[in-house]
Amino acid sequence: MKILVCISVVPDTTTKITFTDNDTQFNKTGVQFIINPYDELSLTRALEITEANGGSVTVITVGEADTEPVIRKALAMGAGDAIRIDAQPKDGMYVAAQIAEQAKIGGYDFILTGRESIDYNGGQVQGLIAEMLNWPLINVVMKLDAEGNTIKATRDIDGGRESLSVDLPVVISAQKDLCEPRIPNMRGIMMARSKPLNVVVASDKNDYTSIASYELPPAKSGVKMIDAENAEELIDILHNTEKLF
Amino acid sequence: MTEAEINSLKESGKGKDTYNQPDFYNIDDLLSDEHKMVRDSVRSYVKRELSPIIEECAQQNYFPSHIVKQLGEVGCFGPQIPAEYGGGGLDYISYGLAMQELERCDSGIRSTASVQGSLVMYPIHKFGSEEQKRKFLPKLGSGEMLGCFGLTEPDHGSNPNGMTTHFTEDGDSIILNGAKMWISNAPEADVAIVWAKNPDGIVQGVIVERGMEGFTTPTTHGKWSLRASITGELVFDNVRIPKSNILPKVTGLKGPLTCLNSARYGISWGALGAAMDCYESARKYASERHQFGRPIGGFQLQQKKLAEMLTEITKAQLVCWRLGNLMNNGKATPAQISMAKRNNVEIAMNIAREARQMHGGMGITGEYPIMRHMMNLESVVTYEGTHDIHLLILGMEITGENAFT
Ligand SMILES: Cc1cc2nc3c(=O)[nH]c(=O)nc-3n(C[C@H](O)[C@H](O)[C@H](O)COP(=O)(O)OP(=O)(O)OC[C@H]3O[C@@H](n4cnc5c(N)ncnc54)[C@H](O)[C@@H]3O)c2cc1C
């Protein structure tokens, strides 16, 4: 089993988001980048599966050189090697096309992604890769096991759960609860130094969208505290000021 | 504590620890990506496994022995020991950062790791035979075995040279007699590195193993400090030990003192971790707690406290970073380590006390970590050379005069 785990490099969840260039560029200054949390789950589960059944785990990122510290973390967690496709990840189509091409070259038979990246929340890459490779996709999976060449996956559906079984090759995207993300240990961090991180030149692919502008959600207004005894004041505000009824 | 209690604490405490270290001088710029990864790893581990349970462990005076294996898995035992011997193969700054993150949680947890890494694995690695290294180090590194370090005796603390624990020779064995006191990890330890006098009165290191006849480890009760760490005695009553358990490559007090240097170095980072936790708690509390119609952080007296805390923390961060580089180059002197240990523990104690006052009445409860840090630091200022002893080491370094005796 040759697993390829797609890693998206995203701003830490506590980042204060700002924009530049007339609100068309995300301001990276001072931002801490991390492995997309859903990708951390898919990587952890991939490692668990190969540790139990044999096989290899390669991580792949479409990103520029500044993503390498984050890729090293994926290697420290236990991935055997990494591929960085040297390009700015423009849109889902572009990223998927780059990854699909490398997946063919490398002869992988199992691709794992997160359900979405927590920055742009596109959630498209897994579907596009599957389509480009003509493989099946099981999306938003919260339980995953492998028996030989057969993959068993469970996913939440409206009001219940669905368990599926599929033969390799397949693309699967991870949802929370899949596993507890692995924390890299000291030995893994040391070993990651010498693991291969192969940089490949991006091939010419189209990006079909461009960002016109970003907008932050309106600032939350402060909380107004009203004394427990003053229910009338509260009703007055809700009725006359906020005009909720 | 039962497994169920621990799991329910972990469940209810999930995500509550949002600690991030103060970094006023962008000292992170001086760290490598690898250093930061080490810190993140230990911090993530602490937040997931330790923060939710530590207060209850300390309140109940309970040593969470299940974490020994976890600490081994994360690599907190001897991160600076080469990987082939069960360590992490990283540098001294990584080791320091790991100790800082652990002590940010609790000095007792850091003590368990310091003892295992610097006082048990380190002497076996530095002074042990190849056979001893292969036999003990991988299991100590993984947390399969827990170790302790016996130097202090009931009548000989600051003056270890006066020790009376001794051994005689008998064929291929030695016969060990005496007692050690205040020994961290002792009651749960599988092995003890014991410093004792040979028939010529010269100090040597001996690996004493659990189960050897005549070797017992009674627990020390009633501590108000390091309550989540376990402390005990080592009692040797005609313990027969194979000579192959003697550490062959060192004689004299240099042996234990070399180990203490490595551990004290880790403590200087650790104490700073405790200080930063107190500071962060106080900083948050100062913005949340209102009196006289405004946050208490708006009053000059509270601002002075916070400003002085951050100043001392920043100085100590620089001391740690510089000392770490000296350690990496094999150039740190014992006196330099003494200065760092002494200073950083002192500022941590002062910061804990000021932070406690800033929390008002809340500061004395287990809702906040302050009082626990404050009590823990009373041990940290005493063990591994008391505050006074480090002053004398520095005094001797400066003047060339020995003021110990
Ligand atoms: C929780 C805890 C865990 C410990 N863990 C370990 C362990 O794992 N292994 C181990 O071997 N030891 C351990 N210790 C022991 C610790 O190292 C000793 O307590 C310490 O070295 C001081 O020794 P003492 O308690 O006998 O105090 P003493 O040496 O009796 O000192 C009492 C006071 O006299 C002062 N004093 C002593 N000599 C001088 C002098 N020449 N000039 C001026 N003042 C002086 C001291 O500074 C101190 O204030 C631990 C202690 C504690 C509290």
Q: Check for a shared fold between B3-142 and B147-245.
A: no
Residue A132 maps to which CATH number? 3.40.50.620
Q: Is residue A36 part of a domain?
A: yes
Percentage with pLDDT > 90 across chain A: 78
Q: Which residues of B touch A188 (CB under 8 A)?
A: 75
Q: Which atom of ligand 1 is nearest to the CA of B148?
A: 8
Q: A208 pLDDT exceeds 90? A: no
What's the mean per-residue pLDDT of chain B? 97
Stretch B54-79: mean pLDDT: 97
Q: Is residue A236 part of a domain?
A: no
Stretch A158-186: mean pLDDT: 96
CA atoms within 13 A on the CB side of B5: 11
Instruction: Determine whether the interchain pair B94/A186 forms a contact, defined as Cβ–Cβ distance below 8 Å.
Output: yes
Q: Which of B71, B73, B186, B77 shows the shortest CA–CA distance to B121?
A: B77
Q: B400 pLDDT exceeds 90? A: yes
> Is the CB of B33 inside 8 Å of chain A's CB atoms?
yes
Instruction: Determine whether the interchain pair B41/A185 forms a contact, defined as Cβ–Cβ distance below 8 Å.
Output: yes
* Cβ of B204 below 6 Å from ligand 1: no
A230 pLDDT tier (thresholds 50, 70, 90): confident
Query: Domain B147-245 sits in which CATH superfamily?
Result: Butyryl-CoA Dehydrogenase, subunit A, domain 2 (2.40.110.10)
Q: What is the pLDDT of residue A30?
A: 85
Q: Is residue A245 part of a domain?
A: no
Residue with more model confidence, A210 or B55: B55
Instruction: Determine whether the interchain pair A186/B37 forms a contact, defined as Cβ–Cβ distance below 8 Å.
Output: no
Distance CA A12, CA A16 (A): 9
Measure B92 CA to ligand 1 centroid, in angstroms: 26
Active site residues of B: 384
Instruction: Determine whether the interchain pair B90/A189 forms a contact, defined as Cβ–Cβ distance below 8 Å.
Output: yes
A142, A176 Cβ separation under 8 angstroms: yes
A225 pLDDT tier (thresholds 50, 70, 90): confident
The single-letter code of the amino acid at A229 is E
* Angstroms from B37 CA to nearest CA on chain A: 7
State the angle between helix axes of B33-45 and B67-74 in degrees (0 to 180), rounded to the nearest 10: 160
Q: Which residues of A touch B44 (CB under 8 A)?
A: 183
A71 pLDDT tier (thresholds 50, 70, 90): very high
Stretch B37-59: mean pLDDT: 97
**A93-138 pLDDT tens trace:** 999 999 999 999 999 999 999 999 999 899 999 999 999 999 999 9
- A-side interface with B, Cβ within 8 Å? 69, 72-73, 76, 183-191, 193
Cβ atoms within 10 Å, residue A145: 15
Measure B384 CA to ligand 1 centroid, in angstroms: 7
> Is the CB of B48 inside 8 Å of chain A's CB atoms?
yes
* Cβ of B257 below 6 Å from ligand 1: no
Percentage with pLDDT > 90 across chain B: 99
* Angstroms from A16 CA to nearest CA on chain B: 15
A28, A195 Cβ separation under 8 angstroms: no
* Cβ of B231 below 6 Å from ligand 1: yes
The single-letter code of the amino acid at B362 is M
Q: B66 pLDDT exceeds 80? A: yes
Instruction: Determine whether the interchain pair A189/B88 forms a contact, defined as Cβ–Cβ distance below 8 Å.
Output: yes
Q: How many separate helices (H) and strands (E) can be counted in chain A?
A: 6, 13
Query: Domain B254-399 sits in which CATH superfamily?
Result: Butyryl-CoA Dehydrogenase, subunit A, domain 3 (1.20.140.10)
Q: What is the pLDDT of residue A210?
A: 86
Stretch B270-291: mean pLDDT: 97
CB-neighbour burial class of residue B145 (10 A; exposed 0-12, middle 13-18, buried 19+): buried
Q: Which of B385, B320, B384 shows the shortest CA–CA distance to B347?
A: B320
Distance CA B202, CA B198 (A): 5
Q: Is residue A238 part of a domain?
A: no
Domain count, chain A: 1
A52: containing domain: 2-216
Q: A222 pLDDT exceeds 80? A: no
Instruction: Determine whether the interchain pair B45/A193 forms a contact, defined as Cβ–Cβ distance below 8 Å.
Output: no
* Chain B residue with Cα closest to A193: B34
Q: What is the pLDDT of residue A15?
A: 86
Q: Which residues of B touch A73 (CB under 8 A)?
A: 37
Helix, strand, coil % in chain B, rounded to nearest 5: 55, 15, 30
Q: Which of B97, B121, B385 shows the shortest CA–CA distance to B257?
A: B385
**B298-318 pLDDT tens trace:** 999 999 999 999 999 999 999
Q: A218 pLDDT exceeds 90? A: no
CA atoms within 13 A on the CB side of B311: 7
Pick among B7, B17, B33, B69 to test the A interface (most A CBs inside 10 A): B33
CATH for B3-142? 1.10.540.10
What are the sequence ranges of the domains in chain B? 3-142, 147-245, 254-399
B144 pLDDT tier (thresholds 50, 70, 90): very high
* Cβ of B224 below 6 Å from ligand 1: no
The ipTM (two decimal places) reads 0.92
Q: What is the pLDDT of residue A13?
A: 85
3-state secondary structure of B14: coil
Distance CA B136, CA B86 (A): 9
Q: Is residue A242 part of a domain?
A: no
